[in-house]
Chain A
Amino acid sequence: MKRILFILSAAAILLFQSCEHNIDADLENLEGVLCLNAFLITDSDTNFVHVSLTSRTKPVPVPNARIELSVNGNLVETVTDCYKITYKARWQEEVYDDDWGWMWIEKSGICTDTIFGTYMLTSKFNVGDKVRVDVYSGSQHVWAEDVAPQKIENPAVSHTYTHRTMKEIGALLEDHDRVSLDVRFDDISADANYYRMAIYSNYYVENKSFTMLFPEELDLHSKNEIMDYARKNLNHPVFNEFDDTVEVFYLASDLFDGWSGYEDYSYRGNLILSEGEPQSSGESTDLDALITDVENTFRVFSDNLFSNSTARLTATVWCNGMIPDNINRPPYDDLFTDEELNMVGDYYNWHLTVKLQSISEQQYYYLRAMNAITSSSYDEMSNLSGAMKIPTNVHGGSGNFCVTTTTIVKVPILDNYRPPFYDTIYK
């Protein structure tokens, strides 16, 4: 979009010699408006409400608000304290040692911190409940309500996993592993319904701590011989000049536990997720950019294309090297990041969590607006059309308040998987 807009604008501007000037604008003071943001989840005993004030610099969290949760007209919970988080932390401290002088040492422990402006609700509510949150801060009062939508029942998820050898395309590494997901579920009712599909990864490696083993029976002597062998068979061989050995890597078990997080999956070719818009499978072209100047970043969709029938969603999760390659790897050491090297271990576990959410109409429009506002083309378009007013259902202030009903399907991709070449190398 950028290029197209640039070219179209350039055509007009070159023709008409455009000029740009600063002007005095007497804008209304919009600071200090109370905002309520929450994505409440049906049947969950931990939900969070975020309260803040508008500001010219960045939103200001409100630490002294009173939150009232009402379900079906009955006040069920009042919260006045911000959410406190307890977490395991590591840090370095500089200490003095008699032998070594000042040095940094690593420490760890349990910490507690307060997340100002975030309040935790512990009351549950069910499908069909009318949920209302009132927020009081100083003289300001905002409120919003939503009805917990119906749940998606019995979704079917199938997948195929392709582990591919990494190859280089241009200056970039092509994505390595691929999981194709096929998700089907029935529209929850004949009315207009709105959904989103989020996918999370949970990846961890067990028994990760090992040291390099160099098979002496191979009878390798010179550095070149050792490295030739190592490069063919090992991950990240580094020749150790002190003892003429090769180190693959060293990984302490407490440094890496795996990771989990949101997967920014591809929905190319799926008309439901793209709301009817096809996309090419390749690099984004100008036309893609012109038409799809707004990507469905938050993966919301309506039942417009499958009203009262079955939805079929296809998604592809691309990832770099969930299983390290030791065979046919191109001899470029610098292609691999530390993070990737750290993921090499003995047993691999990778699960995908498909989270199908039934959402309200308000949330659908809010997240579509967010799709637009977080897109790369927003700045140019806002220059042409003005700033975007974001949909809100918060009375007396701003923000977004929604209740979602979630159906979770876990998809095991790797389950205590041990790459076969390990046994060959390390036995």
Chain B
Amino acid sequence: MKLTKLFSAAIGFALCCGNVLAQNRITVSGYITDGKSAETIIGATVVDESSGHGTASNNFGFYSLTLPAGQHRLTFSYVGYNRQTIDLQLRRDTAINISLSGDNELEEVVVVGKSRESGIESTKMGSIDIPVKLIEHTPSLLGETDVLRTIQLTPGVQQGVGGASTLYVRGGNGDENLILLDGATVYKIDHLFGFFSVFTPEAVKKVTFYKSSFPARYNGRTSSVIDVRTKDGDMNNYHGSVSVGLLTSRFNVEGPISEGRTSFSLSGRTTYAGALIQPFLDDDLKINYWFYDINLKLNHKFSDADRVYFSLYNGLDKFKNDCHDDFNEYSHRTINDYGTDLRWRNFIPSLRWNHVFSSRLFANTTVNFNHYKMRMASYDDYLYQDKNSKAQVKESTDKSSSDYNSEIKDIGAIIDFDYLPTPAHTIKFGANYIRHNFEPETTHSSYKAKDDDKIQADTSATSKGKAAFANELSVYVDDDWKIADNLNLNLGVAHTIFNLSSKTYHNLQPRVSLKYDPTDFLTLKASYSRMTQCVHLLTSSPLAMPTDLWVPITETLEPEVANQYSLGAYTKIDGWEFSVEGYYKLSDNVLEYKDGMSFAGFSGSWEKLVAAGQGESKGIEFMAQKTEGDITGLVSYTLSKTDRKFSRASGVNDGERFPFTYDRRHNLNLVVNWKYNDHIFIDVSWSFQSGAAATLTDTYQQFVEPDNYLEFGGIPESPYNLGSNVRDSKVSYVPGRNNYRLPCSHTLCAGVDFHKQKKRCERIFNISVYNLYNHMNPTMVYATEADDYGNYGGPRRLRIKKLTILPLIPSCTLTYKF
């Protein structure tokens, strides 16, 4: 109740301040759109030439700029578009919608945009806009352009095991990234064990990546935010694209339903991986793996003040295998059919309403539903037929089956306000409510046995996991304050209430960012952020497995809290942007499996398997970007160190500090995009990471079973009877986690796009090679007995083996844009 009052007071104060400050000031506002498609443009800048004051369009293309009454020249610009200037005599609040036309010179050059919330111009640091063009021009695995793979090339981001698209940002776990699709959280973000993300590039309009000073409206994860916005759909013309690749095919179509008022955008992607695998398998083993993604967006403009959007994402992975064994012997015949059906899906519809209350107050209201479900089912049918005429039982059948389900149902409502009382203040405030319903691990198994017609067994068992309902409410307010021409301060605070049935957690999360421009070409920034996280992903494997399980915090496991301090310096010289950022992040209540617990596939009583401890990460990141010209690209380097520390009582690594699995000291990335001519584009990326940490051993320790002869009081007939469970039993001895450094990884990828304008469409033929010089990067490393061990009774010899999943892989993709 107190918080509600506090929040109301904050809003009231902001509004009053705005009204007072706004006296004798006029506000210009409106939408900035693409001239061709009428698609709103996010992050376009609006600058008053005379005063130098400016603003940027928000996530919905809306801008608002308050200026003194009088004559003004406003310039609207966005990278890839022609600059547009208008002269205005401001007497009263004015609404001006601007359509920017594309700059043909820059149309196919990868450029990095600027906005109020990301990049050098922003008060915030550690944030970057990832333009779709950059995503499309980042050389990729099997021709699959991927949002997450592009983000992996930015500093401070470590990738998962060799080539997986998982992100480990500034020492955070893979589950500490808030990944939003049109404002709704996506729980399962990948396909094919983590090698591809669920985001269809054709559907994506804008991606913004935050890793330190987080805007106050983002809550719920501690390491990063990836805000993916999908295309609204062309209001004026129909167009689209079709791509056929080695692994997937994709399409996108968009256009007006009612010209100028209603539009749609529909994208889809599916794979034929299963069909590619099948020829390599035995005839009696049938495997079918496929996934699809569907993105639909409908957009209706009621008026300049009201717009409604409907977004739908539906993605499914399905893995099915069926086996058939038939043994026909002289005396009997056995037939065994068994198989597995695994599927997991995201279903995320959302409805959004943009409303312009006034030229200074913009509101976005979203309601969404998020359903993530994973189901695994298996069956094993066995038939025995006896051919002996005297047999008592002629035919026996055994049928067993099991089902395993986990699901999350979130219902959410978000309201965000952008309030721009003066050019010096951009105030954002709002609230976000999510009703979580976790239903982990509901299992059902059954068994039926029959001898001829006589039922021998008919049993079944069902277990429902510990369902959890949680209410998560966040309220926030955030003011981006231009104190002086060269000094900006962003003050934000969010308060999150996470309510479980028997306990409520309150988390206050202050965020402060300061930007100072000592000279025209140098910018300095500093920030502090606190983030909390109330849900976690339990995973036992470095690969993204369908059994990975999202669970909420509990009465005993408190929310994870991360405090991050950052400093940065930025400069721009001749089309280049240089930045250096340093950070220190301390996280409390980081979850890790206790020693020996990570192999438990079933997560029943999962609270007892994990422990909460501390994570510490520090690093320095360098980045140079060339954002203009025929050759663009970026170079990034990160020097970082991340480790974990748990108490001895927690049962993790005997209380000793240990390196985080993805603690890679050096990380260097290079991306070059070269527009060779109007028809040929060459894209190259090279990434280098020093070795991650792994746990390896070649030594044994004694293992004494609790039920050995001595302990249970039996009298052994000879000491040799003790042997199996006292003397000779052995298990690997591991003194500490992550005691070994894997070899370094480096990968060169290259792709060439050949564009050709056909009569009715444009054809793009892409040839790309992943891991061009075929470096054997370690996907996993393990110790194994040498092949000749035991032949001569000699001492044990171990070999360390390295498995590489992604060697040189060429691919090609054919795309038609119409």
Q: Does A132 sit at the interface, judged by CB under 8 A? A: no
Q: Which residues of B contact A7 (CB under 8 A)?
A: 287, 321, 340
Q: Does B401 sit at the interface, judged by CB under 8 A? A: yes
0/1 interface trace, chain A 373-414, chain B, CB 8 Å (1 if under): 101011001111111111110000011100010000000000
* B side interface size, CB within 8 A: 133
Instruction: Give A199's nearest chain B residue, CB to CB.
Output: B707
Q: Does A426 sit at the interface, judged by CB under 8 A? A: no
Q: Does B303 sit at the interface, judged by CB under 8 A? A: no
Q: Which residues of B contact A38 (CB under 8 A)?
A: 704
Q: Which residues of A contact B393 (CB under 8 A)?
A: 167-168
Q: Does A372 sit at the interface, judged by CB under 8 A? A: yes
Q: Which of B332, B404, B806 contacts A287 (CB 8 A)?
A: B404
> How far apart are A39's CB and chain B's nearest CB, in angstroms?
5
Q: A87-B715, A369-B596, A370-B731 are in contact. Are A30 and B402 (CB under 8 A)?
A: no
Binds A, one of B53-61, B103-111, B375-383, B560-568: B375-383
Q: Which of B547, B779, B795, B805 contacts A56 (CB 8 A)?
A: B795
Inter-subunit contact B714/A37 (CB<8 Å): no
Inter-subunit contact B733/A302 (CB<8 Å): no
Q: Which of A262, A386, A398 contacts B696 (CB 8 A)?
A: A386
Inter-subunit contact B710/A21 (CB<8 Å): no
Interchain CA distance A83-B711 in the complex, whole Å? 13
Interchain CA distance A365-B600 in the complex, whole Å? 12
Instruction: Give B279's nearest chain A residue, CB to CB.
Output: A14
> How far apart are B202's CB and chain A's nearest CB, in angstroms?
22
> How far apart are A49's CB and chain B's nearest CB, in angstroms?
10
> Which parts of A14-40 form the interface with B (CB within 8 Å)?
14-25, 27-28, 30-31, 33, 35, 37-39
Q: Does B781 sit at the interface, judged by CB under 8 A? A: yes
Inter-subunit contact B443/A330 (CB<8 Å): no
> How far apart are B388's CB and chain A's nearest CB, in angstroms?
10
Inter-subunit contact B463/A278 (CB<8 Å): yes
Q: A115-B719, A384-B541, A389-B737 are in contact. Are A290 and B340 (CB under 8 A)?
A: yes
> How far apart are B399's CB and chain A's nearest CB, in angstroms?
7
Q: Which of A89, A274, A293, A387 contacts B732 (CB 8 A)?
A: A387
Q: Which residues of B contact A375 (CB under 8 A)?
A: 599
Interchain CA distance A391-B731 in the complex, whole Å? 12
Interchain CA distance A378-B601 in the complex, whole Å? 11
> How far apart are A146's CB and chain B's nearest CB, in angstroms?
13
Binds B, one of A57-65, A67-75, A240-248, A319-327: A57-65
Q: A54-B733, A276-B465 are in contact. Are A388 and B701 (CB under 8 A)?
A: no
Interchain CA distance A10-B747 in the complex, whole Å? 23
Interchain CA distance A398-B596 in the complex, whole Å? 14
Q: A167-B393, A389-B695 are in contact. Are A35 and B384 (CB under 8 A)?
A: no
Inter-subunit contact B736/A389 (CB<8 Å): yes
Inter-subunit contact B338/A169 (CB<8 Å): no
Interchain CA distance A65-B806 in the complex, whole Å? 51
Inter-subunit contact B802/A87 (CB<8 Å): no
Q: Does A193 sit at the interface, judged by CB under 8 A? A: no
Q: Does A298 sit at the interface, judged by CB under 8 A? A: yes
Q: Which residues of A contact B340 (CB under 8 A)?
A: 4, 7, 286-287, 290
Q: Does B694 sit at the interface, judged by CB under 8 A? A: yes
Instruction: Give B163's nearest chain A residue, CB to CB.
Output: A16
Q: Which residues of A contact B403 (CB under 8 A)?
A: 287
> How far apart are A243's CB and chain B's nearest CB, in angstroms?
31
Inter-subunit contact A30/B461 (CB<8 Å): no
On chain A, which size bracket covers the interface? 35 or more
Interchain CA distance A381-B803 in the complex, whole Å? 14
Interchain CA distance A260-B717 in the complex, whole Å? 12
Q: Which residues of A contact B696 (CB under 8 A)?
A: 25, 27, 386-387
Q: Does A425 sit at the interface, judged by CB under 8 A? A: no
Inter-subunit contact B277/A286 (CB<8 Å): no
0/1 interface trace, chain A 259-276, chain B, CB 8 Å (1 if under): 011100000110100111
Inter-subunit contact B735/A33 (CB<8 Å): yes
Q: Does B21 sit at the interface, judged by CB under 8 A? A: no
Q: Does B792 sit at the interface, judged by CB under 8 A? A: no
Q: Does B817 sit at the interface, judged by CB under 8 A? A: no
Interface secondary structure of A, over-half rule: mixed
Interchain CA distance A198-B705 in the complex, whole Å? 12
0/1 interface trace, chain B 779-798, chain A, CB 8 Å (1 if under): 11111000000000001101
Inter-subunit contact A20/B598 (CB<8 Å): no
Interchain CA distance A54-B699 in the complex, whole Å? 7
Binds A, one of B122-130, B255-263, B445-453: B445-453
Inter-subunit contact A399/B542 (CB<8 Å): no
Interchain CA distance A271-B461 in the complex, whole Å? 10
Q: Which residues of B contact A25 (CB under 8 A)?
A: 696, 740, 781, 783, 800
Q: Does A156 sit at the interface, judged by CB under 8 A? A: no
Q: A21-B801, A39-B711, A200-B712 are in contact. Are A58 and B700 (CB under 8 A)?
A: yes
Q: Does B468 sit at the interface, judged by CB under 8 A? A: no
Q: A11-B287, A370-B703, A389-B695 are in contact. Are A269 and B796 (CB under 8 A)?
A: no
Q: Which residues of A contact B547 (CB under 8 A)?
A: 290-291
Q: Does B84 sit at the interface, judged by CB under 8 A? A: no
Q: Which of B380, B599, B608 contacts A302 (CB 8 A)?
A: B608
Q: Does A309 sit at the interface, judged by CB under 8 A? A: no
Q: Which residues of A contact B378 (CB under 8 A)?
A: 285-288, 290
Binds A, one of B169-177, B348-356, B722-730: B722-730
Inter-subunit contact A262/B707 (CB<8 Å): yes
Interchain CA distance A74-B510 in the complex, whole Å? 53
> How far apart are A295's CB and chain B's nearest CB, in angstroms?
10
Q: Which residues of B contact A48 (CB under 8 A)?
A: 710-711
Q: Does A221 sit at the interface, judged by CB under 8 A? A: no
Q: Does A103 sit at the interface, judged by CB under 8 A? A: no
Inter-subunit contact A275/B605 (CB<8 Å): yes
Inter-subunit contact A57/B796 (CB<8 Å): yes
Q: Which of B277, B321, B604 contacts A275 (CB 8 A)?
A: B604
> How far apart are B723's CB and chain A's nearest CB, in angstroms?
10
Inter-subunit contact A302/B605 (CB<8 Å): yes
> How far apart are A398's CB and chain B's nearest CB, in angstroms?
5
Interchain CA distance A399-B735 in the complex, whole Å? 11
Inter-subunit contact A22/B809 (CB<8 Å): no
Q: Which residues of A contact B800 (CB under 8 A)?
A: 22-25, 27
Instruction: Give B273's nearest chain A residue, CB to CB.
Output: A15
Q: Which residues of A contact B459 (CB under 8 A)?
A: 269, 280-281
Inter-subunit contact A373/B740 (CB<8 Å): no
Interchain CA distance A115-B721 in the complex, whole Å? 11
Instruction: Give A27's nearest chain B residue, CB to CB.
Output: B698
Q: Which residues of A contact B704 (CB under 8 A)?
A: 37-39, 50, 400
Q: A39-B706, A54-B733 are in contact. Are A30 and B596 (CB under 8 A)?
A: no
Inter-subunit contact B780/A30 (CB<8 Å): no
Inter-subunit contact B699/A15 (CB<8 Å): no
Query: Besides A28-B739, A388-B732, 8 other CB < 8 A contacts?
Result: A17-B807, A18-B803, A20-B801, A25-B783, A27-B696, A365-B651, A382-B782, A390-B701
Residues of B within 8 A of A (CB): 163, 192-193, 195, 247, 273, 276-277, 280-281, 287, 289, 319, 321, 332, 334, 338-340, 376-380, 382, 384, 392-393, 396, 398-404, 441, 443-449, 451, 457, 459, 461-463, 465-466, 540-543, 545, 547, 594-602, 604-605, 608, 651, 653-654, 694-707, 710-719, 722, 726-728, 730-740, 743, 776, 778-783, 795-796, 798-807, 809
14 contacts between A and B (CB under 8 A): A12-B195, A12-B543, A16-B806, A27-B740, A27-B800, A111-B718, A275-B602, A290-B547, A291-B404, A368-B600, A383-B803, A388-B732, A391-B595, A398-B733
Residues of A within 8 A of B (CB): 1, 4, 7-8, 10-25, 27-28, 30-31, 33, 35, 37-39, 41, 46, 48, 50, 52, 54-59, 61, 83, 85, 87-89, 111, 113, 115, 117-118, 167-170, 196, 198, 200, 260-262, 268-269, 271, 274-283, 285-288, 290-294, 298, 302, 304, 330, 355, 363, 365-370, 372-373, 375, 377-378, 381-392, 398-400, 404
- 10 tightest CB-CB pairs across the interface, nearest first? A369-B596, A276-B604, A287-B378, A282-B400, A386-B695, A280-B445, A25-B800, A281-B447, A278-B461, A282-B447
